[in-house]
Structure 1
Amino acid sequence: MKLTSTVIMGTYNGSTFIYDQLASILEQTSPVTKVIIRDDGSTDGTSKIIEQFIDNHGVHQTWDFQMNDDQKGWRKNFMDMLTKIETDLVFFSDQDDVWYSDKVITFLKAFSNEQQAELIVSDYDFQPKNQTLLTMYTLQEKQTGYEGLFQLIPNVYNLATYRPGCSMALKESMIPSVIEIFNKIAIGPNGLAQSHDEASWLTAILRGSLYHLAKPLFSRRSHADSTWQSEKKAYQHYFETAAHKENFENFVASVDSELNSGHWRIKSLQSNLKKEINLYAEDLKRQNAED
């Protein structure tokens, strides 16, 4: 049975690049079942471009576009869309990338061949190729029986989110746990407010169900005025070496506290990882006490 899938995309003042991304989603060799787009108060014509694209390609039945009544911010925008999913899988999409035509089919095959996978992330190329704003981190992982697919090792290192949401596809069945983590753990590994992709990554690594397709499946656009780059500039000190380390330590301590709260409902929690997180948090407490 072919897996059904939904793409969710939050848009905001993305008129410069949005058309190319919409076209790349429409032109997949294996079409997605549904596309949900919520615009968060654009003032540059983004909404008009999306509406015309849907009209010109006659996809009203499968593409659901609405403008938010009030501006939510990108985090809440994505989380609200996540509650609308009625398909087997959901893809997160940025507004300014370009998907390669085999992105969806490659993910579908990987999920079909690895039943344990709940979240799969891919690699990506950069546009422009010589950009310096974005990076792609090394993962600690192990080979699976499916060519090009690796399982991330559930450990403290891999609690940090090493692939962005635009590289992710996840199973609908894990969404309740993603929402739970988003609501209970207020910060991500960078110290900023929790996000849809960080909560998804954390859910999957805690359950031992995070996998990696070692293949670039889209072109990730780098530009200084993107929403993420603007946020990084506003909180630049969060990304300095010492602050970044402290933010990650606070994040792990927050995860440890929640794991030990007695209210955790997440299923299939990796017991070894829980112990490792606890030991890490206890070691930090000792170090802080000594300081």
Structure 2
Amino acid sequence: MPRLPHPTSEELRREPLPLRGRTALVTGASRRGGIGYAVARRLAAYGASVYLHHHVPHDTAMPWGADRPEEVAAGVREALGDPDARVADGPGDLSDPAVPARLVRAAADALGGRLDILVANHALSGSDGTLDAIDAGMLDAHWAVDTRSVLLLVQAYARLRAALPPRTPGGRVVMMTSGQDIAAGMPGEIAYALQKGALASVTRSLSTALADLAVTVNTVNPGPVDTGYMTGDDHAAVAAMFPAGRWGVPDDPARLISWLATDEAAWITGQVIDSEGGFRR
């Protein structure tokens, strides 16, 4: 088998908009303080068209609240690097098993009929506890949102990619896990840790399943990110666990995720990648 040639000097000079012409769906982008918003802005800045999924009732019920979808979309639109790219958004309750396929189709239709990048950023907050506190309802709720919906999104995405010409470039799936496999784990969030662990575990299998479609599949653990869910002494105590003396900010994992979406990361697949800033648990 002949060896691939080295890239030319022109090819090595980075495209200033490495995602120009690509399209992306980012789930869980209901507020400007979250990771989903930061990811969407990075993808847009790199030239991609972006569809923002939101489920406002979930964030509205949380202490941090939700932003108006049009405000979130406007912030992403401001970051667009390609004047021909677009930003669209739409709602979806991903606890409903029929919604993932509808969401993938809506995103593709809004962005010109094709979907290149899927970032499954959403998760269920709350409704969890210790081993003694959890019950079947908590486990089922986290399974439906944190795991089942992600697998159904990937399934719908893969079916859409299968209709494209063979080995169409640019196919990317990025899922989100947490620190459930590191140090002491997450004993206070058993249901969440279980479902996020399932995504980490299935990453390699999904990467193999989608390899024939030229789609890479990776999972990112963003570590503790300051999205407004902790304050006061607890916030300061966590900051002290980082060598840099600060929490992660949403753009920290966003830089990694957006890079994984580029052609520079085309040879990286089946990986669970920690982006924790040296966090000492």
TM-score (norm 1): 0.33
Judging by fraction of residues, say which structure has more strand.
1
TM-score (norm 2): 0.34
